[in-house]
Amino acid sequence: MRFVELLVAAVLLAGLYAMMAYGLGLIYGVLRIVNLAHGGMIMAGAYLGLALHDRLGMDPLLSLPLIAVVSWSFGWLLYRFVVRHLPRGATGGAQSLLLLFGVWLVMRNAVYLIFTGNDQAIRTAWSTHAWKLAGVSLPVNRVIVFGLAMLALGGLHFLLTRTYVGKAIRAVAQNPDSCTRAGIDVEKVYALTFGLGSALAGVAGLLGATIFSFNPSFGSVELLKSFVVVVMGGLGSVAGTASAALVLALVEVFAILVLPSYLTGAVGFVLLVLVLVLRPGGLFGQKVLG
Amino acid sequence: MKLGIALSAAALVALALLPFALSPYTHNLMTLSFLFVATALAWNWLGGYAGQISFGHAAMFGTGGFVAARILLAGALPPPLAWIAGGLVAGAYALIWGHPTLRLRGPYFSIATIGVGEATRLVFTYWDKFTGGSSGLSLPMVPGAKRTLYWEALAFLALIAVASWAIRRSRLGLALFAIRGDVEAAADVGISATFYQDLVLFLSGAATGIAGGIYASYFSFIEPNDMLGFDRSISFVLMAVIGGVGTILGPVLGAVVFVLLRQFLIGSYPQLYLGLYGALLIAVILFEPLGLMGLGHRLVRRAAR
């Protein structure tokens, strides 16, 4: 029974991981930029949800669309005014890495000033309930988070594969130069993609905040986990991301059985290094979006 | 060139004589600056010369610090040898994780180092038999030791500065610049990226570890979250980036600016300093990617015109 319970817990957790990772992978796949501010966006989503819940009494489910729009706009602005001016590719990699890291530090500090560094949590009417299914308990909040994450990923998959915008994004990921020739506004696609990735991070942060307690450094562990998933799962493939997220969640959840509890936190980091080392060629996967 | 050597020697003599005229506060700040200038230079061997940005150098700083502290507590070796032993262990540890991860380039290596740094911090925090856990380790205070440590830190800095210069001019330095430019082209002319990167990571890690050991002696108290925290790793990156990555004078200036700025911010705006680091990082990358050195060159060029 314990085994089944852990299995269910892992699957539910994997949904959230997949969502966090997909935003990071999308931005990397299209812009070739590792968005270190991703962790900051996750944290910002959590705190925005907290503010809307505590000050305006908005249920996280209601504030979700709002947070998606706000995070999207933030990502869009960040791209238009800052990231756009950075060099890309091998030599520019370090610069965008450092700059976005700076953005993350500023975000953390801003949140710290507004909300202090104390641990916070979003508690709703449904956060402590659990359903029983064949003797296995299913915490309602985790099920909802899993469902929403799957919905978001499904929607994104639809957007990328079935719509004109999605086609443009995939085309830019493959070859920005020929896109310009074909009349696609590449800069617009970049800004849009940066917005999409940020929106995913913000919403993932909000969803995470309904499960875990958080403080201004929320998002750093999540960022590293997202890397693990992106590196394992390859770029832009929803199925690949989902299965990699499942592997990570399984390893983490079952590590509780064999490792002392204080070391389970290190499992994600060790896995990150292992994955990076063992898959040196196809690091973020050779697969192009789609 | 000769002028540079003469100036450096003069600065060294001046700094060595300075403690006789310093208040304890400034004395403390100077010693700290020496240690961090040395660490920033060592970080720069890997981050600047080889172009591999490490966000995990605190792992070696902490390893060196705790190994040295344990040796000193056991009374097994005199301080300088304990620091060197700590440095060697830190260098060896760097090789263990670095050899496999240095095959990665650019952001992938950086990301791996975040993982290494954080995993090391967690292990050190919970390995309380060795590190004292989150309550840390206290070293016995030796009267007058702080005064001697000023000169020891200065000597260490001088050594690292000379090494920075020597590496830059040596075969190792040339190989690293070639690797930074283009790994494959470097391999085509017979430069083994694995060998040279491993070597420089070992050197950089060992130097960082020695700095950690001296730091431990100086403060007589060390604690994993301070020694190995992510903030510590970031601070090494910032010092080099503020000053100018890849140069020698850059990290020196950057580290001095960093230590003074940190002192000022912690005193006046303790709740703002992380964000100000971030803002500084953004400003440097956006407006002057070569840091203070780039700014200096620009000003000199403008003045010449």
Q: Which of 256-275 (B) contact A at CB < 8 A?
A: 271-272, 274-275
What pLDDT score was predicted for residue A194? 95
Identify the CA nearest to A201 among candidates A168, A156, A161: A156
Residue contact A276–B112, C-beta within 8 A: yes
| CA–CA distance, B92 with B86 (Å, rounded to integer) | 10
The DSSP 8-state label assigned to residue A289 in this structure reads: P
- Asked whether residue A289 carries a pLDDT value surpassing 70, the answer given is no
The DSSP 8-state label assigned to residue A1 in this structure reads: -
Token couple for A251: 């390893």
Q: Which of 125-184 (A) contact B at CB < 8 A?
A: none
Alpha-carbon Rg for chain B in angstroms = 19
* Ramachandran bin of B190, using left for φ above 0, alpha for ψ from -120 to 50, beta for the remaining angles: left
Diameter of chain B measured on Cα atoms: 63
* Contact predicate B259/B36, CB 8 Å: yes
Q: Across residues A108-122, what is the average pLDDT?
A: 90
| CA–CA distance, B91 with B200 (Å, rounded to integer) | 10
| CA–CA distance, A136 with B291 (Å, rounded to integer) | 58
Sorted by sequence, the CB contacts under 8 Å of residue B248 that are 6+ apart come out as B41, B44, B161, B164, B165, B168
Q: How far is CA A165 from CA A157, A184, A189, B201, in A?
A: 12, 10, 8, 45
Rounded to the nearest angstrom, the gap between the alpha carbon of residue A154 and the centroid of all alpha carbons in its chain is 15
What tens digit of pLDDT does each residue of B59-104 get?
999 999 999 999 999 888 899 999 999 999 999 999 999 998 888 8
Token couple for B211: 């700095």
| CA–CA distance, B282 with B265 (Å, rounded to integer) | 18
Does A280 contact B at CB distance below 8 Å? yes
Please report the domains of chain B, with CATH numbers, ordered by start residue. Answer: 2-304 (1.10.3470)
What tens digit of pLDDT does each residue of B258-280 get?
888 888 888 888 788 788 888 88
What pLDDT score was predicted for residue A91? 53
The CATH architecture that domain A2-122+140-278 belongs to is Orthogonal Bundle (1.10)
Query: pLDDT class for A287, splitting at 50, 70, 90?
Result: very low
| CA–CA distance, B210 with B202 (Å, rounded to integer) | 12
What pLDDT score was predicted for residue A197? 94
Contacts of A105 in chain B (CB under 8 A): 234, 274-275, 277-278, 281
What tens digit of pLDDT does each residue of B25-56 get?
888 888 889 999 999 999 999 998 998 989 99
What pLDDT score was predicted for residue A79? 94
Taken in order A258, A263, A268, A272, the sign of the CA dihedral is: negative
Rounded to the nearest angstrom, the gap between the alpha carbon of residue A79 and the centroid of all alpha carbons in its chain is 18
What tens digit of pLDDT does each residue of B154-192 get?
999 999 999 999 999 999 999 999 998 888 888 888 888
Residue A130's H or E segment, with its range, is: strand A130-133
Q: Across residues B99-121, what is the average pLDDT?
A: 85
Sorted by sequence, the CB contacts under 8 Å of residue A190 that are 6+ apart come out as A30, A31, A79, A84, A172
| CA–CA distance, A97 with A104 (Å, rounded to integer) | 11
Residue B253 pairs with which residues in a beta bridge?
none
What pLDDT score was predicted for residue A39? 92
| Coil vs helix vs strand at A214 | strand
* Contact predicate A15/A173, CB 8 Å: no
Q: Which of 205-264 (A) contact B at CB < 8 A?
A: 220, 224, 227, 260, 262-263
Token couple for B263: 């002192």
